[in-house]
Amino acid sequence: MWVRHRLDIGWRDLLVGAVKCLLPLDSDRLQERAQSCWPATRGCIVTLSVRSGFDLLLRTLKLPAGSEVLMSALTVPDMARIVEEHGLIPVPFDLEPDAAYPSIASLTRIITPNSRLVVVAHLFGQRVHLAPFAEICRQHQLMLVEDCAQSFCGCQYGGDPLADVSMFSFGMIKTATAASGAAICVSDRQLANQMQVLLQQDPIQSRHSFLLRLLRVALIKCLSLRMPLAIFVRCCHTFGLDYDRLANNAAKGFSPVQLMRRLRQQPSSPLLALLIRRWQSYEDDVLKDRSAQGRWYGEQLGAFDNDGSNTWWQHTHWVFPVLVEHAQQLAMALRFAGFDATHRLRMCVISPSSAGEPTATPNASRLVDQLVMLPWYHELPDHELLRMAEIVREYHGRPLPESAPHDSLTAISDRRPSATYPARGRWDRTDA
């Protein structure tokens, strides 16, 4: 049994973070150092989470009650709730058919005179071209926010310059995780300064709270080892517990109870120190290897189409989803074979706020129903990856086609020459 997504943090970093909780630290100096890790071309605010940063943005903007925030239909549940807490209306726009990128046509249809903000989420490690979204926002005088929580690719990239705000997450299961924390990169320096001033009025996260979170990460990391995970899953089956639900709950950042109060905290000094350590030491080669691994694996699934499409321009393969008609059955088949696959997501489809049609976002709803998340981390052995690919192919009862439409989730390629996959298990690092 292999863990679905191994935590991207080492034991040494966890130990350093825990020790920092016991030492006196200069919070103001750490804030400056953390901000300097990101490109100087934009203002950077370090927050407790992306949700904290998004709430901070809305608190600073003070949009009129009843204003509409147009959001990618598939997102984490709390994002829409934060919008509603500000007296605003979250309005979802759909995804493209059988794809994980937002639909321009759907966005265009829902814009009204009350629209003020557009939030585009980059999902599963891919980064979508923002140019068409930016053009629409310019025409209608809307602010463009990109949610990069799942698409971090190094601090040298502070977000698309076409976006007014770019949000990066370093929560528990994210790339370069520090157990929590986020970087909010803002093009408008005046807006960034206003957000920083408002943030400084919030209470500071307690060191005790951050230390408990580090201990939680350590526990999950222990359970992700092969033998403990197998025992844990077997216990869940024995006692009738829902493993998917337990795993997802363990990775949650905040409880729904008193959400806004918990969001509105400054990151503690130990968290800032750990974020700096992670940002400065994270190796780009890890991301390059993971991207090459993802492209290679797409080839093994027989789902590539190098047609030159530029729907999205880079993919770090943070996770590996596949889209199938009977997702639950495939997930169960993989489980029986010893692979920790799941068809459940921590994300949800935003419900239309008006009394509109319940099928306003049918593509996003179908995607949630048909997604299977494969176990995916860099250390997964070569032969296990190949065995898992064979099970996915066999599940369909026939080999997958040599190529598939570029918008299929299984057609994961960044339109560059694919990496080779030597038998010794090292990924070719030819990608930029």
CATH of residue 344's domain is 3.90.1150.10
- Is the residue at 294 inside a domain? yes
Separation in Å, CA 181 to CA 172, 196, 301, 308: 9, 15, 35, 36
Which is more confidently placed, 387 or 222? 387
Q: How far is CA 38 from the centre of its chain?
A: 19
| pLDDT at residue 4 greater than cutoff 70 | no
**Number of domain units in the chain:** 1
Distance of alpha carbon 307 from alpha carbon 403, whole angstroms: 10
- Is the residue at 333 inside a domain? yes
Q: How many CA atoms lie within 13 A of 313 on its CB side?
A: 6
- The answer to whether 287 and 26 have CB atoms below 8 angstroms apart is no
- The answer to whether 73 and 95 have CB atoms below 8 angstroms apart is yes
pTM of the model: 0.82
- Interval 229-235 mean pLDDT: 67
- Is the residue at 428 inside a domain? no
- Is the residue at 335 inside a domain? yes
Which is more confidently placed, 286 or 245? 286
| Per-chain mean pLDDT for the chain | 81
- Is the residue at 364 inside a domain? yes
- Is the residue at 195 inside a domain? no
Read off the pLDDT band of 305 (50, 70, 90).
very low
Read off the pLDDT band of 304 (50, 70, 90).
very low
Domain of 338, in residue numbers? 283-395
